Amino acid sequence: MNYGEQIGFVVEGKLGWVKELCRIERPFIAAFQETKCHLVSDQWVELLWGNNNFGYIQKEVVGNSGGLLLIWDTCCIEVVDAMGNEFFLAIRGKWKSSGQESFIVNIYGPHDDCSKKAMLDSLENLLSANDSAWLLCGDFNEVRVRSDRLNCKFLQYRATRFNMFISNNCLIEIPISGRQFTRVSEDGSKFSKLDRFLVTENFLNLWEDLSIIALDRKLSDHCPLVLRDKIIDYGPKPFKVFDAWLDHDGVDQIIYEAWVVPVRGYRKDCNFQDKLKKCENQS
């Protein structure tokens, strides 16, 4: 499952870029925010998706901004209901592999404070209506902590409100790897983490190992995020240890005595290596 943010479909180059992402990632579901386009056709979605095994719902642009699009693979999920308002699009369906029900919500958060509160209230009402597996993804246009912004104004009360929404609804944020920030201003001076995936525990239980990677933003001011259900292989482990050593009496004292010996160096990785060598020598 993945989503691209701030696509700008009117530009052929961006459309081609998104089409290539769909070809490479082969998502079960793709959620787009701020499409900046009016209602699209089946033929247009097929061109983007790469085949005719799809269903979709959309919210057209208002003026020159906004627009939401949510596409799903009909071979993977059977959608039985769809809903939405000015802030989100949502589908309810069953995964064909397991028969389990899930709600998928595509969100594009507003900018003004009153609308932000209204969006969270509407999402909370949606979540409380059904105790199922939920995935909320998109541009929430909100941050959780001060470090989610760089060279941008941080408002604590908004972050507190957003965190309370997450906590009150027992949502879990899946960490993002690859990038600290998901949005960059046009002049490249301001950075924010506005895009995220929030899930319920029921949704986590449907998948073995969920991970998120932030891709290169290329033609957009937001990074496309890809949610994958697979273990990422980072290559060989940097070092190995036999667990049997940990059962020996006094091993903790050996490690302590080796670790407190000061080492001289400016590189932390080299200092760490020296401490491991001292542990080996003492054993």
The string of pLDDT tens digits covering residues 70-121 is 999 999 999 999 999 999 999 999 999 899 999 999 999 999 999 999 999 9
Residue 60 or residue 265, greater confidence: 60
Same domain, 267 and 163: no
Same domain, 147 and 247: no
Of the chain, the end-to-end C-alpha distance in Å amounts to: 48
User: Phi then psi for 247, rounded to 5 degrees?
Assistant: -85, -10
Q: Is 48 helix (H, G, I), strand (E, B) or coil?
A: helix
Reply yes or no on whether the pLDDT at 275 is more than 70: yes
Instruction: Provide Rg for the chain, Cα atoms.
Output: 23
CA 18 – CA 219 distance, rounded (Å): 10
Same domain, 195 and 130: yes
Same domain, 106 and 163: yes
Same domain, 129 and 221: yes
Q: Is 118 helix (H, G, I), strand (E, B) or coil?
A: helix
Q: Is 227 helix (H, G, I), strand (E, B) or coil?
A: strand
Sign of CA dihedral 113, 119, 125, 130: negative
What per-residue confidence (pLDDT) applies to 269? 63
Whether 65 is in a domain gets the answer yes
Same domain, 176 and 278: no
Residue 160 has which token pair? 């507190």
Whether 180 is in a domain gets the answer yes
The DSSP call for residue 187 is T
The DSSP call for residue 113 is H
Residues with Cβ within 8 Å of 171's Cβ and at least 6 positions away in sequence, in order, are 134, 136, 165, 198, 199, 200
CA 54 – CA 46 distance, rounded (Å): 8
- Mean pLDDT rounded to a whole number for the chain: 85
Same domain, 223 and 254: no
What per-residue confidence (pLDDT) applies to 102? 96
Task: State which residues form the domain around 157.
Answer: 2-229
For residue 274, give the nearest of 263, 91, 50, 27 by alpha carbon. 263
CA 59 – CA 77 distance, rounded (Å): 21
**Number of structural domains found in the chain:** 2
Same domain, 157 and 106: yes
What per-residue confidence (pLDDT) applies to 9? 40
Instruction: Please report which confidence band the pLDDT of residue 230 belongs to, taking 50, 70 and 90 as the band edges.
Output: low
Same domain, 247 and 225: no
Reply yes or no on whether the pLDDT at 23 is more than 70: yes
User: Do 72 and 94 touch, CB atoms closer than 8 A?
Assistant: no
Same domain, 146 and 178: yes
Instruction: Please report which confidence band the pLDDT of residue 251 belongs to, taking 50, 70 and 90 as the band edges.
Output: confident
User: Which of 206, 229, 252 is the last residue in one of the domains?
Assistant: 229
Reply yes or no on whether the pLDDT at 3 is more than 50: no
Whether 236 is in a domain gets the answer no
Q: Is 16 helix (H, G, I), strand (E, B) or coil?
A: helix
User: Phi then psi for 264, rounded to 5 degrees?
Assistant: -105, 125
Per residue, the 3-state secondary structure of 233-274, as one string, reads CCCCCCCCCCHHHHHCCCHHHHHHHHHCCCCCCCCHHHHHHH
For residue 198, give the nearest of 222, 230, 176 by alpha carbon. 176
Reply yes or no on whether the pLDDT at 65 is more than 90: no
Reply yes or no on whether the pLDDT at 4 is more than 60: no
Same domain, 148 and 93: yes
Whether 97 is in a domain gets the answer yes
> Helix 251-259 vs helix 268-282: angle between axes, to the nearest 10 degrees?
140
pTM of the model: 0.76
Residues with Cβ within 8 Å of 144's Cβ and at least 6 positions away in sequence, in order, are 159, 162, 163, 166, 173
